Structure formats: C-alpha cells, structure tokens
C-alpha cells in the first residue's frame, strides 16, 4: 500500500491523466524526443572523432598511403558494424523505455483507484469500464461497494453482473441508455438496482470517457438517490392529496349552491362533465379538461347572491327579476377572483353568458375577447339548461338543445366548440345524465 507521500504523487499523476490526458502525453513525447536528440548527437560526435582520429593514427603508424587506405577501409567497415549494433541497442532501449512509460501510466491510474482511504470516505461507488459502448467489461470497482451495496468486488467484476441486477422493468431501457451515453462520450441516467438484501435502490449513474493508452475506457460513478426519490414521491402524493381536497371542496360548494335552487340540482355537475367532454373532443389535454370540470362546478356560484324566491319562481321572471339573476355572473367573479386556481375559473364564471356576436352579458364581449374556456362552458350550460327541467317549464330534450347550438353556430357560439359538442352527442352518443 502506498504511503501518504506516494499517494499524493499518485493523486497528481491520476489528476493529469483523468483531467487532461493530452497534456501528460505531450510531456512524455517531449522527454522521448530529447532522448532521441541525444542519441543523434552522441552518434555524430563518436563518428567524427573515430574517422578523424583513426585516419591520423594509421598514417602515423604505417606512413604508406596504400597500406593506410586499406586499413582505413577495414576500419570503416568495422566502425559501421559496431555503430549499427550500438544504434540497434540504443533504439531497443528507447522502445523498451516507451513501453515501460505506458505501463507505468496505466499502473498509476489503477494504483490511485485502489486507495481505500479516499473512496471509503465518499458515499459513491466508482468503477472503470473497458471496451466499446456495446462490448464492454468492468475492470475495476471501488471497495466501498461492499459497504454500500454489500457485494464483493469480485462479484461486481463478473461478466453480466450489472445487467442481472437491474430491476426487470428498467433493464432493457437502462442498457439502451448506457450504450447511448457511452457513444456520446458521457452522460447520466437513473434506474433501480438490486441491493444484496434483495431490495431495490434508485441509482444515479454518471459515465465519462477516458483517453487511456490501452484502449477505450469509461469511468462511472454510482450515487444512491433513493432518499431523494422518496421525497419526490412524497411531494407528488401530497400534491395529489391537495388536488383531491380541492375537488372535494369545490364539489361541496357547488352542492351548497344547488341547495338554494333544488330545481336545478345536478346542473353544475353536468355542466362540468359536458365541458370537460367537449374539451377532450377538441383535443385539449387532461389538465385543461380538469380545469373546465372545476369551472363547470363553480360557474353558477354567483347565484348565492340572488334571492332564492327568484331562483325557484315557477313563472317567468319579470324584467327586474331577470336583471337581478344576470348579476350572478358578476357575483361569481367577485367570489372567485382571489382564489389562486391554476385555471381562469373566475373569468369563466363571469363570461359564460357572453356570446360571440356581443349580445351576451355582463360585459358584451365578442369573439376572441371571450376566453376559449368560457366559450366551451357557455355551450355546455345552454345544452344542459334547455334539455333539463326548470321551475317555469319542463325539459325540452337534448335534440332541441342541439338544434339551438347548430342554428347559432358562429353567431352566438364558438364554431370549434359547437362543432365538437354536436359530434359528441350526435355521432358518439354522449349521454346527458
């Protein structure tokens, strides 16, 4: 095991290798280039000295030109042979040094990864893969896997171990995501992974590609996010409970409104249902449909400001009484405007008696001045009111109500919403219950 000084050195080396491997490679090549330069200089100096010195020595010994030439030729051949052997030896040593440097680089990486004091102090599992995005294998994993997941390092390095311990519902998708992340050179994905005790934890898996001399390598980090996931699920559950409570409260308020007008019992509920169904027929999402359902339940809440004797009067209303009834749209707006709904419920309550041509009340709005939600609720309100019984008349039936919508499409009622309503009842048999 390396001591503290050695660990520091290894830490510096691995930092260079992981953070900026091209810098480390550049430094290595610079050192090797300098070695090659010294070999060339050494060869030039020795060769020059040999040629000049040996020729002078032969001429001094023999003094004969012919003998000196023969000796010089033999000496030159011997020199070439000796220097060739020397050059071969030096190049062999250089190649050997390069291989040792590469091996030392790899060893330093893996040696750093085996520092138990470092990885034992962090709550994550680090691992190294080698190969391709599709054909890869784990070559190293930090020992704290034994503490976190209670698996041995030997088990974790077994072929196919990771895939086998994925949650069955996550396995196929997680494998595809991992391959895609590795092709891109890095990324993150989340999945469920089986603990040694048989339970499943939620894991955040972050992968990055390394430029290693021995081939393509990837370093990965596992983080247990089970606690975070549980908090998120609790938040979702709590939000669902709040939303359910909101629906129940709205329904209770709608029923209180109906108590003052028993002849229209169920009107708000049916308007909410019809409005949501029309929105679905128009292609709006479920969240939008929920808003219209709520708005339908509350669209007539302003009737709490209208005297009950007017609401239940069995005869036609006088002009003054009708004017008072019309005030329910403004009353409803005032009641709802300070309630922080995620939908324009207050505006819908105010505008559900407005008409496309501006003949409606209370503001005489035209066309797009009326919210689409209010245009939908307006149609649902007319259909339900005409088809159902009222204190001053019996129910006219769904056919009469649809004829009213059809005859005034584009004039009083929005074309798209009215068309969806007609399809809903006539073509798809939507029941008015």
Edge-to-edge order in the sheet of strand 186-194: 136-141, 124-131, 215-224, 200-212, 186-194
What residues are paired with 128 via a beta bridge? 140, 219
Structure confidence at residue 202 (pLDDT): 93
**What are the CA-CA distances from residue 144 to residues 129, 158, 287 (Å)?**
17, 17, 46
| CA-derived radius of gyration, the chain | 43
Q: Distance between CA 287 and CA 233 in Å, rounded?
A: 20
Neighbours of 219 (CB within 10 A): 19
For tokens 């708005």, the residue is: 295
Tokens of 259: 């108590």
Helix H or strand E segment including 130:
strand 124-131
Both tokens assigned to 165? 């311990």
Tokens of 211: 């430029």
Largest CA distance in the chain: 152
**Count of residues in the chain:** 433
What is the rounded CA–CA span in Å between residue 380 and residue 202? 47
Instruction: Please state whether the peptide bond connecting residue 115 to the residue before it is cis, i.e. omega within 30 degrees of 0.
Output: no
DSSP helix/strand/coil, 64: coil
Contact 409, 415 (CB under 8 A): yes
Main-chain phi, psi angles of 116, to 5 degrees: -70, -30
* CA–CA distance, 433 with 425 (Å, rounded to integer): 12
pLDDT at 291: 92
| Whether 210 contacts 18, CB under 8 Å | yes
CA distances (Å), 225 to each of 121, 191, 193, 230, 329, in order? 18, 10, 11, 9, 50
Q: Other C-beta atoms within 10 Å of 142: how many?
A: 25
State how far the Cα of 298 lies from the Cα of 164, in Å rounded to an integer.
Answer: 54
Find the helix or strand (DSSP H, E) in which 128 lies: strand 124-131
Segment-wise mean pLDDT, segments of 10 residues, the chain, 433 residues:
40 41 47 61 69 65 62 67 71 72 59 54 83 87 89 91 94 92 90 94 90 70 87 77 69 67 74 96 94 91 83 80 90 89 92 96 95 97 88 81 95 97 94 80
CB 227 within 8 A of CB 273: no
Measured over the CA atoms of residue 346, residue 349, residue 355 and residue 360, the dihedral's sign is negative
129's enclosing H/E stretch is strand 124-131
Q: What is the 3-state secondary structure (H, E, C) of 165-224?
A: CECCCCHHHHHHHHHHHHHHCEEEEEEEEECCCCCEEEEEEEEEEEEECCEEEEEEEEEE
Q: Which residues are 126's β-sheet partners? A: 221
The answer to whether 330 touches 362, Cβ cutoff 8 Å, is yes
CA distance 430 to 143: 64
Domains of the chain by start residue, with CATH: 4-113 (no CATH), 122-224 (3.30.450.20), 231-427 (1.10.3210.10)
- DSSP-assigned beta bridge partners for residue 223: 124, 204
> How far apart are the C-alpha atoms of 365 and 355, rounded to whole Å?
7
């Amino acid at each position: 095991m390396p001591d503290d000084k050695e660990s520091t050195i290894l830490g510096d080396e691995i930092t260079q290798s992981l953070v900026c491997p091209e810098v480390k490679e550049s430094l290595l090549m610079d050192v090797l280039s300098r070695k090659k330069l010294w070999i060339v200089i050494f060869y030039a100096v020795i060769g020059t000295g040999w040629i000049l010195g040996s020729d002078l020595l032969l001429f001094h010994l023999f003094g004969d030109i012919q003998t000196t030439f023969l000796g010089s030729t033999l000496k030159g051949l011997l020199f070439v042979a000796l220097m060739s052997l020397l050059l071969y030896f030096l190049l062999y040593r250089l190649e050997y040094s390069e291989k040792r440097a590469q091996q030392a680089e790899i060893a330093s990486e893996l040696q750093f990864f085996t520092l138990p004091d470092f990885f034992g102090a962090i709550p994550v599992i680090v691992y190294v893969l080698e190969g391709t995005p599709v054909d890869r294998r784990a070559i190293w994993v930090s020992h704290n896997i034994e503490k976190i997941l209670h698996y041995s390092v030997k088990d974790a390095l077994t072929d196919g171990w990771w895939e086998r311990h994925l949650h069955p519902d996550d396995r196929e998708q997680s494998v595809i995501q991992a391959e895609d992340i590795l092709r891109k050179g890095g990324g993150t994905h989340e999945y469920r992974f089986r603990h040694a005790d048989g339970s499943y934890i939620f894991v955040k898996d972050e992968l990055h590609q390394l430029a290693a001399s021995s081939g393509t390598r990837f370093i990965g980090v596992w983080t247990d996010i089970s606690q975070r996931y549980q908090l998120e699920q609790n938040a979702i559950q709590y939000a669902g409970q709040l939303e359910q409570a909101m629906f129940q409260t709205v329904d209770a308020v709608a029923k209180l409104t109906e108590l003052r007008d028993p002849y229209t019992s169920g009107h708000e509920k049916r308007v909410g249902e019809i409005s949501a169904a029309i929105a679905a027929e128009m292609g709006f999402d479920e969240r939008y449909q929920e808003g219209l359902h709520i708005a339908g339940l509350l669209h007539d809440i302003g009737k709490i400001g209208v005297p009950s004797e007017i609401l239940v009067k069995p005869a036609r209303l006088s002009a003054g009484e009708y004017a008072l009834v019309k005030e329910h749209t403004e009353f409803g707006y005032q009641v709802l405007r300070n309630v922080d709904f995620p939908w324009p419920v207050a505006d819908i309550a105010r505008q559900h008696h407005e008409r496309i041509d501006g003949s409606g009340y209370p503001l005489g709005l035209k066309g797009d001045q009326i919210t689409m939600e209010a245009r939908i609720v307006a149609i649902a309100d007319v259909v339900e009111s005409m088809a159902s019984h009222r204190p001053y008349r019996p129910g006219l039936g769904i056919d009469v109500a649809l004829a009213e919508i059809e005859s005034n499409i584009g004039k009083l009622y929005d074309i798209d919403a009215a068309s969806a309503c007609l399809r809903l009842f006539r073509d798809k048999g939507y029941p008015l219950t």
